[in-house]
Amino acid sequence: MRRKPIRPPLKSGLDRVGRFHPFLAYAAVMLVNLAAALLILAALVWVSDLVEDLFWPGGPEWIDF
């Protein structure tokens, strides 16, 4: 059984991630991190809105959930 030949690194010295360029893999990881950060931020804002409604019920809402 023959093994596939090992691909040489790119001209920039980076190894490919599967068949994708490393920058594409980095961009995907950054998008996942950004989505996670936005999800955490939305959860914090939602909890703070609930706490604010416990102390000061009624009144205008700055953020509608």
* Rounded alpha-carbon distances, angstroms, from residue 17 to 3, 22, 34, 35: 18, 6, 21, 22
pLDDT greater than 80 at residue 47: yes
Taking each continuous run of H as one helix and of E as one strand, the counts in the chain are 1, 0
Query: Which residues face 17 on adjacent strands?
Result: 20
Q: Quote the Cα angle for 36-39-41, to 5°.
A: 110
Query: Using an 8 Å Cβ cutoff, are 22 and 15 in contact?
Result: yes
Q: What is the pTM of this model?
A: 0.70
pLDDT tens-digit profile of 9-39? 788 888 888 888 899 999 999 999 999 999 9
